[in-house]
């Protein structure tokens, strides 16, 4: 009798162990996948306290924004050469596009990587100023100070509520081919903003 109970008990215990094997494998796969994600991209998935934003020059001018790093420096440079003549709202919108790309698996996973993607390869630059042949010279310190604050706020987790997830933009002066198929999300200042359509895998 005792022998029969022992066998039954072992069978009960063995059941969950066998059932847990696929779960264990799945957990291991997920752990490996998480470890392969860069720290910057992983941090972007974590909910951070929202920074209150007022899209005005006066509000921005009164801020003392600390915490600059390599990524915010790259973003500030891009905003200076791509959007320094835009309104504060327009500068935040361009910054949203760059950070939306950082969060997308289709692009590099750092701000600097996104901005310099394709630089040095003919017709491959994502941002014109990185391959127009001109030296990147900051001639307007006041304009740079403003976009530098925008960049730092955005890298620190400012809300992205202007462009509805846009990953592309262009000025009104041009009409790239992709603009005919990408849905336009908004227009701010001289820029139209678009979101790259989600591509579904085919079996």
Q: What is the DSSP string of 58-102?
A: HHHHT-------HHHHHHHHHHHHHHTTS-HHHHHHHHHHHHHHH
Whether the per-residue pLDDT at 50 is higher than 60: the answer is no
Mean pLDDT, residues 147-170: 95
Rounded to two decimals, the pTM is: 0.72
pLDDT in tens, 72-107: 999 999 999 999 999 999 999 999 999 999 999 999
Percent of the chain with pLDDT over 70: 68
Residue linked to tokens 């309104």: 87
Mean pLDDT, residues 109-116: 94
- The SS3 assignment for 188 reads strand
Whether the per-residue pLDDT at 5 is higher than 60: the answer is no
pLDDT, position 147: 97
Whether the per-residue pLDDT at 64 is higher than 60: the answer is yes
Contact 119, 131 (CB under 8 A): yes
Q: Can you tell me the distance from the alpha carbon of 180 to that of 150, in angstroms, rounded to the nearest whole number? A: 30
25: confidence class by pLDDT, cuts 50, 70, 90:
low
The average confidence (pLDDT) of the chain is 81
135: confidence class by pLDDT, cuts 50, 70, 90:
confident
């Amino acid at each position: 009798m005792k022998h029969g109970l022992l066998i039954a008990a072992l069978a009960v215990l063995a059941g969950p162990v066998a059932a847990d094997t696929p779960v264990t494998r799945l957990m291991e796969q997920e752990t490996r996948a998480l470890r392969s994600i860069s720290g910057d991209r992983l941090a972007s998935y974590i909910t951070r306290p929202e920074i209150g934003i007022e899209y005005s020059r006066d509000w921005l001018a009164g801020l003392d924004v600390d915490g600059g790093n390599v990524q915010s420096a790259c973003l500030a440079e891009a905003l200076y050469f791509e959007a320094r003549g835009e309104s504060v709202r327009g500068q935040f919108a361009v910054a949203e596009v760059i950070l939306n790309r950082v969060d997308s698996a289709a692009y590099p996973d750092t701000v600097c990587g996104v901005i310099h993607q394709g630089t040095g390869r003919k017709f491959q630059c994502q941002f014109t100023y990185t391959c127009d042949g001109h030296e990147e010279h900051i001639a307007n310190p006041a304009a740079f100070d403003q976009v530098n604050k925008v960049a730092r706020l955005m890298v620190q987790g400012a809300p992205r509520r202007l462009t509805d997830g846009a990953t592309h933009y262009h000025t009104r002066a041009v009409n790239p081919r992709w603009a005919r198929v990408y849905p336009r999300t908004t227009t701010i200042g001289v820029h139209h903003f678009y979101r790259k359509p989600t591509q579904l895998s085919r079996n």
